[in-house]
Amino acid sequence: MTRVAIIAAMAQELKPLVRGWRRESRNGVTLWSQRRGEGVRIAACAGSGAEAATRAFVEIERDGPIDAVLSTGWAGALGEGFAVGRAYGVSEVTDARTGERFRAIGGSPECGLVTSPRFADQAEKRRLAATHGAALVDMEAAAVARLAGRRGVPFYCVKGVSDGLQDQLPDFNRFLSAEGRFRRARFVLFAALRPWLWPALARLGENSGKAARCMRDCLLDILDE
């Protein structure tokens, strides 16, 4: 039986894809599964960052070896050429901490991604673009790519653009737990007391929803192959 893993940071990134799939939680990881013919698709999320992505990957492997892995989720645009609310196939992933580069199957040659250990604000986005020549930034893909490489399994990467280079957003890093979990209640209270943030957050929510639906369509094209 072929087992394909799909790894994201947050459940909302996977929601359009996994609607109707079997759901369970264990060891701090949320998993969804769907059987298709002679194969099974397993999606998982455990939070933001490399350590959380690793936990999700390892938890999927507890039930058997993985034959292919897809890294997905929201990403920030590092330039003007990638539209918010859209999804893109990534061709190369760079780890900002180590400089390692990983190839991804089937992505656009113009779409490289850099993985940062933190949410990137506008200044950090410009620095990452200049340093690594990437188009997008996330927090997990390099960890997933490294694990796939060590196991010799095909690696794909599809990212949805939730925020653009010019978007002025709060520092989300302060709302992440040590395990990479987003402290939603704390953030809601923070935002409620700062109405000047509401328009930007509303746009972020709308664009994130559009991006998640586009990611679903891109992922299904890959999975159905």
Q: Give the tens place of pLDDT for each residue, 41-96.
A: 999 999 999 999 999 999 999 999 999 999 999 999 998 889 999 999 999 999 99
pLDDT digits (tens, 9 = 90+) for 28-43: 999 999 998 889 999 9
Average predicted confidence (pLDDT) for the chain: 94
Q: Is the pLDDT of residue 175 over 90?
A: no
Q: What's the pLDDT score for residue 79? A: 87
Residues 30, 23: contact at Cβ < 8 Å? yes
Which CATH code fits 2-224? 3.40.50.1580
Q: Is the pLDDT of residue 183 over 90?
A: no
66, 118, 134 from 110: Cα distances, Å: 28, 24, 9
Dihedral of the alpha carbons of 124, 129, 130, 134, in degrees to the nearest 10: 150
Burial pattern 134-159, b for ≥16 Cβ within 10 A else e, equals bbbbbbbbbbbbbbbeeeebebbbbb
Q: What angle do CA 222, 224, 225 make, to 5 degrees?
A: 70
Q: What's the pLDDT score for residue 77? A: 96
How far is the C-alpha of 60 from the C-alpha of 42, rounded, in Å? 7
If pLDDT is split at 50, 70 and 90, which confidence band does 14 have?
very high
Q: What's the pLDDT score for residue 143? A: 98
